[in-house]
Amino acid sequence: MEELSLPQDSYFLGFDSSTQSLKATVLDSNLNIVNSELVHFDTELPHYKTKDGVYRDPSDNGRIVSPTLMWVEALDLMLQKLSKKLDFGKIAAVSGSGQQHGSVYWKSGSSAILSSLDPKKALVDQLGSAFSVKESPIWMDSSTTAQCREIEKAVGGALELARLTGSRAHERYTGPQIRKIFETQPEVYHDTERISLVSSFVASLLIGSYACIDETDGAGMNLMDIKQRAWSKIALEATAPNLEEKLGKLAPAHAVAGSIASYFVERFHFNKNCLVVQWSGDNPNSLAGLTLNTPGDLAISVGTSDTVFGITKEPQPRLEGHVFPNPVDPENYMVMLVYKNGSLTREDVRNRYAEKSWEVFNKYLQQTPPLNGGKMGFYYKEHEILPPLPVGFHRYVLENFSGNTLEGVNEKEVEEFDHPSEVRALIEGQFLSMRAHAERFGMPSPPKRIIATGGASANQSILSSIASIFGCDVYTVKRPDSASLGAALRAAHGWLCSKKGSFVPISSLYKDKLEKTSLSCKLSVNAGDKQLVSKYALFMEKRVEIENRLVQKLGRW
């Protein structure tokens, strides 16, 4: 059988419509980055008067929105900038990434505007009256607590909603946002003919008609049955009337949304055969950009907030994380766990116990033994969401802990540890928590491999702790922007699937040649010793027990 490959001398364009900017990454057919570009909203589109890309209204109960038209104008500007350095005629496929959960409300009659755009005019000059809601609610919005509780109640509780849609109700999720619009502005809701996510919104502009919502980003709405990958009747009814017709259909992320609209062919000289592959959310695109693709792949991003992404065949949705369909393989799922306490908490502990120096911090980590002599800590400088616990530090010593059994092991709460042990307890605690929650969400143990990314992944001592706690090899990557890179890669994947006429595993794009592409990873630490991994499993079991008790006493789900 003839092997399918990407057409030589062609490009794959990936966008990322994020909170503060619109970014683009261009890959050639050898999967090397040949171009990138950025439009920064606050400084390059100052007339919208956003700060960090958003409007915050402190008097309005956590409402955070962005002007929808700004995203349109950013696309105008981005294409102008890119046209100066790229031959658009060579782009075989385009895809993109959108900040998750944000929503766009198309006013009745707008599909006609979208399908008859005049290539002599900018998009922004033609879409001014296309939106029934001019300020799109985004992921930072927290104004829908009442709607979250109403929706959870209507479907039989928070856990039931999580099992059905992949997550319990969250303020930023699109379903609660839609319900709020229906409750507070029913006439606006009724005058809306289509609701898009940020991802499907920009895809709609590119194809000149309403694009489907992809199944992966669709799982960030509290509206989709994740097993069926179809809108859930119960969730729709719990949210707002006649909603299904406003959402349109769902499509897998590797599907083609349509060919590029004639507007872009005439105005920017795109090839008329250029395919627009379904856009998806930024976290799913990052997962693709990190080359995670099969069950057992796990990525840990250690940054301002710490995030874990993993792929599994059998997800077990719970209250504390999220399950989305895998954007690069419709047979399985991605699990996402988000921690609020990341770099800032590590910095705080460094300042208190390691002389404000990373060097001292690393030295302490190296000079203390794995399992920390049974010392275990929980460090929340900020209110944590995973688990839901208030600000506070909690320290325990496990007495008689040898690592071989939990029999006869008792924990004693203490006020503080010696300084080196504080550092180890912080690092071990965070990665033990990640391992425990990832396993509870149905991630295979040990993972096949871990890809570490984000600021703290440059720290070799931290990487070694990850390897010995999880028991697998740890790789690192340097990525300028994994979301738009992932989108460009998905554009190539979608192109290949479309040529083949059926799904092709994304790994066939880079098999055997990953190292020669811009997607390469570097093996940084080998899997830790097996005995230690099973000792950590016992340590983790105890941690989960203590964590559950803390949540019962202090937490709020």
Closest approach, Cβ 283 to ligand XUL, in A, equals: 5
Interface with ligand XUL in residues 61-120 (CB under 6 A) = 99-101
* Residue 411 beta carbon to ligand XUL: minimum distance, rounded to whole angstroms: 33
The DSSP code sequence of 463-511 is: HHHHHHHHTS-EEE---S-HHHHHHHHHHHHHHHHHHHTS---THHHHT
Residue 372 near residue 424 (C-beta atoms within 8 A): yes
CB 317 within 8 A of CB 336: no
| 8 Å CB contact between 169 and 151 | yes
Crossing angle of helices 482-500/282-289, nearest 10°? 80
Nearer to ligand XUL, 20 or 83 (CB): 20
Tell me how far CA of residue 323 lies from CA of 97, 248, 420, 544, in angstroms.
18, 22, 37, 21
Q: How far is the CB of 493 from ligand XUL (least distance, A)?
A: 21
Nearer to ligand XUL, 309 or 353 (CB): 309
Does 239 bind ligand XUL (CB under 6 A)? Our answer is no
Half-sphere exposure of 379 (CA within 13 A, CB side): 28
Measured from the CB atom, the residue of 197 and 537 that comes closer to ligand XUL is 197
Which residue from 37, 152, 282, 439 is in contact with ligand XUL, where contact means CB under 6 A?
Answer: 282
Helical segments of 354-411, H only: 358-367
Query: Residue 493 phi/psi, 5° resolution?
Result: -60, -45
Kindly state the smallest distance separating residue 153's Cβ from ligand XUL, in Å.
22
Told to check if 139 binds ligand XUL by CB under 6 A, we report yes
In whole angstroms, the minimum distance from the beta carbon of 19 to ligand XUL comes to 6
Q: Which stretch binds ligand XUL (CB under 6 A): 69-77, 248-256, 281-289, 513-521?
A: 281-289
List Cα–Cα distances, 202 to 46, 112, 129, 258, 274, in angstroms: 21, 16, 17, 13, 16
Q: Does 309 bind ligand XUL (CB under 6 A)?
A: no
> How many other C-beta atoms are found inside a 10 Å radius of the C-beta of residue 149?
13
Annotate each residue in 371-410 with x if it binds ligand XUL (CB under 6 A) or - if it does not, as one string: ----------------------------------------
| Cβ-based nearer residue to ligand XUL, 192 or 280 | 280
Which of 6, 13, 14, 19: binder of ligand XUL (CB under 6 A)? 19
The least CB distance from residue 413 to ligand XUL, in Å, is 34
Residue 78 in 3-state DSSP? helix
Report the site for ligand XUL in 422-461 (rule: CB under 6 A).
none
16 or 28: CB nearest ligand XUL: 16
Binding residues (CB under 6 A) for ligand XUL: these are 18-19, 99-101, 139, 172, 281-283
